[in-house]
Structure 1
Amino acid sequence: MAITAKMVKELREKTGAGMMDCKKALQETDGDMDKAIDFLREKGIAKAAKKSDRIAAEGLTHIEVENNTAVLLEVNCETDFVTKNDQFKDLLSELGKHIVKEQPSSVEEALGQKLHGEGETLETFINTAVSKIGEKITLRRFTIFTKSDDDVFGAYLHMGGRIGVLTVLEGTNDEQVGKDIAMHVAAVSPRYVSRDDVNEEEVNHEREVLKQQALNEGKPENIVEKMVEGRLGKFFQEICLLEQDFVKDPDQKVKKYVADKGATVKEFVRYEVGEGIEKREENFAEEVMNQMKK
């Protein structure tokens, strides 16, 4: 069967693949559009496998909310350029909608699920995006929160999604209060809601360190204990949300701001893109030269 330019154009529009790849796919499938799409998807998966050794430390976080369920997720790619790509942003949205609806318990479970309950799996969907965009793309992590009708989510994306925060506040329906707390978490990066959430082992370890610091400073043992408890207060202020000075009004603690709104902070999660991933040190000029050699 003769492969026309119109057929190639149609396949390109449906798949986002390159012209020569589309032409070859149509030739291999005798002009059958559906089989050609499958051919390119299979090829996309092969391309994705070749990119598996690359470091994907860039990317974006995304928040999807549907009624009383919300998810914060992180999707990684190789370069910051890709995060500005509409296809990448559409991918984030589709993954968010799926996870909110299906509520998988892990990334592995999510990748094996059918997208929106039908058709291709999430893993195939991502690999198809890899073949279109040309970079390694991975769903790294997600956290799902649920709430009651009397509670509120606070959602905040900083720098377009470089940092994402999702909070749950009980006792209020004021979304601005939820967002204010999410913005604070983005800025200050607490690890716990309150000092009650800090495990005893961590507190005892910090107490021992502070005690040795005080003794090394030559402080008398009879006042060391009081000094340690005072310094522990600063330790809790650094890591506990409710103990911190509220960024929008440093004259009051987060605890007071929330209480004045008749609310309590139930939980929060904060993602910063690429945290914990070892990034490849390469300057832009070297990256371009490496691309040209391929």
Structure 2
Amino acid sequence: MYLPVIVCFYMWITATISPALVKQLREETGAGMMDCKNALSETGGDIVKATEFLRKKGLASAEKKASRATAEGRIGSYIHDSRIGILLEVNCETDFVSRGDIFKELVDDLAMQVAACPQVQYLATEDVPEELVNKERAIEMQKEDLLSKPEQIRSKIVDGRIRKRLEELALLEQPFIKNDKVVVKDLVKQTISTIGENIKVKRFVRYNLGEGLEKKSQDFAAEVAAQTAAKPVATEVKEQPAVVEVKETVEKAPTVAVSAALVKQLRDETGAGMMDCKKALSETGGDLEKAQEYLRKKGLSSAEKKSSRLAAEGRIGSYIHDARIGVLIEVNCETDFVGRSENFKGLVDDLAMQVVACPQVQYVSIEDIPESIVNKEKELERQREDLVSKPENIRERIVEGRISKRLGELALLEQAFIKDDSILVKDLVKQTVAALGENIKVRRFVRFTLGEAVETVEDTEAEA
């Protein structure tokens, strides 16, 4: 007799659930429209209870998919103010899902999440090294507030504190930045429930601009004031020689008419100043190629003078190709002013693209290549059959030449620039140093290729 009443009540509840409420629940949970409507019906229109209802349902369905292979996905990045950079890989089961808006949004949100959590260093609590766990445990056990507790009670308290500490270090345990009622691991599971595929957050890297570098401590305003104050003195001292300098300039007046278009072309190709380009073209009879060489030599000379100056500012950049290859790079300069300039930004963008285009590159310079790798390459070269019959002194020269070439293939600065293969990347950097007037250092980069095997410490030890 009560059945008709229950049915009527259920229909009334369903009818009173507004589309706006369903939309709100969908946005907060990522669940399907009918699932949201059903959850609100089951919970009397209570959005908090409906969210919990969907979370429980999402968790249950996500667990069933957790064993399925994830070989597709996407590489994503997030750059905050050019000073914090994140590179992230998230995997799913099919390319179709990886290119969908829901999965793309998840990757973008996770990259932003890492940027917002400077304490996060690992994906999950299980990834925290045992050595670090033991160290944290030893510190907690020695805290004064626990010394008077019985040992068994003390251990339980320490376990609780350690668990909390490990969760602070793990990405998947963080409250989601867009909805702090949901932790990241549940956000991932909700997305699994929505799209119907297994999802794995595979890895991430975080760069903080200038971390570990010594920063300049002088007052920039005071430095400018000091330089301004020094100008009259410099003018007085150099007043007499200035006449001679003007005379020399008159004597060396350009004999070749140089068009504005040619000057502009040379500026675009070299990044040098307008007057430098005009002079270079005049000195080389308007020959564009010779003028480029002239400026390169001049640029290299002036760059060397700046190479000892501290580069602790700059910018972090990224380049993502088809969501399958991603690069995060840090390039340093001396001042924030230059770091925010278009020329410097263009250099960083070009270098990130260069790394994507050079899959063999693993290090910034030849000097960064570990000695163990150099020795291994030398040993392989010495054992080649075509060298067996050579005299030892000749053999060593051939080996050195081959090693030099091989190491050059591994170093970013030794690559031919992708936009102009007549120059190397290291020369591109030095040209930019000459143009901007500041020291520039390519500090580090990381390259992710979707689905590549990631070597762990355990893997390395096992091979050894």
TM-score normalised by length of structure 1: 0.86
Corresponding position of 2:76: 62
Q: Could you list the runs of 5+ residues in structure 1 that have no partner in the other structure?
A: 278-294
Question: Which moves more between the two structures, 18-27 or 87-96?
Answer: 18-27
Q: State the structure with more CA Rg.
A: 2
Q: More helix per residue: 1 or 2?
A: 2
User: Aligned partners of 2:431, 2:380: CA distance in 1, in Å?
Assistant: 36
* Counterpart among 295, 314, 317 of residue 154 in structure 1: 317
Matched, 1:210 2:381: yes
How far apart, in 2, do the equivalents of 1:6 and 1:84 lie?
A: 36
Distance in structure 2 (CA, Å) of the matches to 1:17 and 1:112: 21
Q: Percent identity?
A: 39
What whole-Å deviation, never above 9, does each CA across 1:39-87 have from its counterpart, x for those lacking one? Answer: 1111111211111111111111111111211111111111111122222
| Structure 1 equivalent of residue 446 of structure 2 | 269
Query: Alignment partner of 2:17: what SS?
Result: helix
Structure with the bigger percentage of strand: 1
The residue type equivalent to 1:71 in the other structure is I
Match of 2:383, SS state, is helix
Q: Kindly indicate whether residue 207 of structure 2 is the aligned counterpart of residue 139 of structure 1.
A: no
- For 2:62 and 2:421, locate their aligned partners in 1 and report how far apart those are by CA, in whole Å: 48
Contact 1:214–1:228 under 8 Å retained in 2:
no
Cα pair 1:63 1:73 within 8 Å, conserved = yes
* Shift of residue 99, structure 1, vs aligned partner: 0.6
How far residue 6 of structure 1 moved from its aligned partner, in angstroms, is 6.1
SS in 1 for 2:372: helix
Number of aligned residues: 276
Aligned to 2:63: 49
Distance 1:191 1:93 in 2: 26
SS class of match (1:154): strand
Give the RMSD, CA atoms, in angstroms: 2.2
Report the Cα distance in structure 2 between the residues aligned to 1:276 and 1:156, rounded to whole angstroms: 21
2: distance between equivalents of 1:188 and 1:266?
17
Cα displacement (A) at 1:124 = 0.8
1:207-258 deviation per Cα after TM superposition (whole angstroms, max 9, x unaligned) = 0000111555532222111111100111112211112212121111111111
Q: Given residue 73 of structure 1, which amino acid in structure 2 is its aligned partner?
A: L
| TM-score, normalised relative to structure 2 | 0.56
> Residues 96, 18 of structure 1: CA spacing in aligned structure 2 closer, same or farther, 3 A cutoff?
closer
Task: Find 2:186's aligned residue among 124, 132, 136.
Answer: 124
Unaligned runs of 5+ in 2: 1-8, 125-169, 211-311, 434-439, 455-464
Q: Distance in 1 between matches of 2:197 and 2:364?
A: 37
SS of structure 2 residue aligned to 1:107: coil
In structure 2, do the counterparts of structure 1 residues 220 and 6 end up closer, same or farther at CA, with 3 Å as the change threshold? Answer: farther
- 2: CA distance between counterparts of 1:255 and 1:23? 60
Which of 229, 232, 256 in structure 1 is aligned with 2:400?
229
Residue aligning to 1:7: 17
Deviation, structure 1 residue 22: 4.0
Moved more, 84-93 or 27-36: 27-36
State the partner residue of 1:240: 411
